Amino acid sequence: MEKKCRVAIVVLGDIGRSPRMQYHALSLATQAQFEVDIVSNGGSEPHMAVTKNSSIHIHEMASVRLQGLSNISRVFALLIKSAIQFTILVWFLCFKIPRPDIFLVQNPPSVPTLAAVKLSSWLGRCGFLIDWHNFGYTILGMSHGRRHIIVKLYRWFEKYFAKAADGSLCVTKAMQHELAQNWGVKASVLYDQPPEFFHPAGLKESHELFCRLDKSICYPVGLHDYVSRGNYGLNDASRDPSHTCFSSQNGDNISLKASRPALVVSSTSWTSDEDFSLLLEAAVMYDRRVSAALNEDNSIDEEKLWIDIKDEKRYLYPRILFIITGKGPERKKYEEQIKKLKLRRVVFRTMWLPAEDYPLLLGSADLGVSLHTSSSGLDLPMKVVDMFGCGLPVCALSFSCIEELVKVGKNGLLFCSSSELADQLMMLFKGFPDKSDALKALQHGAFTTGSSSRWSTEWETHAFPVIEEIISRKQGMRRRHLLR
């Protein structure tokens, strides 16, 4: 029997938070019938489809943390950390895993990943393919400034090893143009597309998800709002497990509540490249504008409002429940800010969902919000792709190439300020859920976008030929070497 080709996917980071590389692994294993080794750091659990595939083998490296040294000298700590990571990577790639036919590496981070993979590919006479998600030097430039010597060295390093690779994939046409014109690198565009498990959720799936999330939504620690007050005093014995904020079940019959809040989802890495304060400001504006539109004043009895909501009274503008998913360094800071907000009709919940529940949340929501801004201006937010796969329209923060993905008025809207986002929320949710025609039109457009192309098709058309060509070329070179 002919030996299977083997691909090593290299991610200097958490593979559970690298969905594109997980999709690569699944396509390589199922569509190409290759053996796949994933070399990455630990952290979040990958999707079940990855962990249960017998052709995919995950090799977990130890994470390197030098917090004490960073407090003394960030530059020195960066150099020491890179040297340690380089050694660990080369050890894994050359000795811990079977020799692959090709290395597929996620970039960024570029240092020391590209150098370690290049050395390993040279020693093993393997292919070296870079998948460009962004530019590493532009991310570093956000904290140090583009003119810093470290950033300039990082760019030189990234550009040097980009030219040393056997091939490149990238996420946008704008990035492809930048690589070709200013880096001398030819790259094939592989747009992010949702895999098959991102789809609109059925009513039963949504209700079961809401039941699983009920405790996190209705009984948050340290928060008192219209959701938690409506359930205040209820214990597990007195709660009706067949009813959630959004849906109810009577026997086999499941229905969405007419007075349910609008569910808005945003996922974030809680880092400085996503200004979450924009969403908080928009929520405050929405809350105040709804009160003004309903001729309310600050003296209205809040208890009456809670009673009206509990009695399922409907308003022209709905309550909004924002669920923010993700992990990251600034999460706690924003959670403290959320606790201080005095909002009457808007609620925030932050959580981290299992990989299997995240698509269900998107498929059950009414609207998505993307706060992604690109450090290079050349990459696109994969979270928006996933939203479209679930038929979920998006309000996205505008930047240079976002219109390659978000088609204004068709599958989403773009905003540049918190006030503009608040305007969009008012417009889309007026008359929710039955008479919100603008929202329904965008939902139809998002569904059309998401169903028009899937990851498997895009990958087979644009990525597999590149991988196949590099493997074939390297195998030919190895055969000629053996014949000498």
| Cβ pair 473, 165 in contact under 8 A | no
- By CB atoms closer than 10 A (0-12, 13-18, 19+), residue 122 is exposed
Rounded Cα gap, residues 436 and 91, in angstroms: 57
pLDDT tens for the 484 residues of the chain, in order? 457 899 999 999 999 889 999 999 999 999 999 999 999 998 888 999 999 999 999 999 988 877 666 556 667 777 888 999 999 999 999 999 999 999 999 999 999 999 999 999 999 999 999 999 999 999 888 877 888 898 999 999 999 999 999 999 999 999 999 999 999 999 999 999 988 889 999 999 999 999 999 888 887 766 666 666 555 444 454 466 678 888 988 888 999 988 889 999 998 888 777 888 999 999 999 999 998 888 876 555 555 555 565 656 677 899 999 999 988 888 888 888 988 888 888 999 999 888 889 999 999 999 999 998 888 888 888 899 999 999 999 999 998 889 999 999 999 999 999 999 999 999 999 999 989 999 999 999 999 998 888 899 999 999 999 999 999 998 888 777 777 6
Q: What is the pLDDT of residue 218?
A: 80
Rounded Cα gap, residues 135 and 115, in angstroms: 15
Rounded Cα gap, residues 8 and 280, in angstroms: 42
Torsion angle defined by CA atoms of residues 405, 410, 415 and 418, in that order, rounded to the nearest 10 degrees: -120
Angle (deg, nearest 10), helices 382-389 and 437-452? 100
Tokens 């009274």 appear where? Answer: 313
Rounded Cα gap, residues 140 and 329, in angstroms: 16
| Cβ pair 316, 289 in contact under 8 A | no
Residue 187 C-alpha from the chain's centroid: 23
Rounded Cα gap, residues 332 and 137, in angstroms: 27
* 6-193+455-483: in CATH 3.40.50.2300: no
Please state the domain extents for the chain: 6-193+455-483, 203-452
How many Cβ atoms sit within 10 Å of the Cβ of residue 43? 15
203-452: which CATH number, 1.10.287.3510, 3.40.50.2000, 3.30.460.20, 3.40.50.150? 3.40.50.2000
Hey, what amino acid is at 342? K
Sheet holding 320-325: strands in order across? 346-351, 320-325, 262-267, 367-370, 394-397, 412-415
Q: Is 117 helix (H, G, I), strand (E, B) or coil?
A: helix
- By CB atoms closer than 10 A (0-12, 13-18, 19+), residue 142 is middle
Name which of 114, 97, 116 is nearest 39 in CA terms. Answer: 97
Tokens of 96: 């811990």
Rounded Cα gap, residues 335 and 325, in angstroms: 12
Sign, CA dihedral 336-338-344-350, equals negative
3-state secondary structure 234-275: CCCCCCCCCECCCEEEECCEEEECCCCCEEEEEECCCCCCEC
Q: What is the pLDDT of residue 1?
A: 40
**Is-same-fold flag (6-193+455-483; 203-452)?**
yes
Q: What is the pLDDT of residue 89?
A: 96
Tokens of 101: 């036919």
Q: What is the pLDDT of residue 383?
A: 92
Residues composing the chain: 484
| Cβ pair 145, 137 in contact under 8 A | no
Rounded Cα gap, residues 92 and 124, in angstroms: 13
| Cβ pair 17, 43 in contact under 8 A | yes
User: How many CA atoms does the CB half-sphere of 234 hold within 13 Å?
Assistant: 15
- Please give the angle made by the CA atoms of 19, 23 and 27, to the nearest 5 degrees: 175
Rounded Cα gap, residues 334 and 1, in angstroms: 57
Rounded Cα gap, residues 203 and 248, in angstroms: 10
**Bridge partners, 264 (sequence order):** 322, 367
Q: Is 411 helix (H, G, I), strand (E, B) or coil?
A: coil
Rounded Cα gap, residues 190 and 476, in angstroms: 26
Distances (CA, A) of 266 to 364, 391, 440: 13, 15, 19
| Cβ pair 371, 279 in contact under 8 A | yes
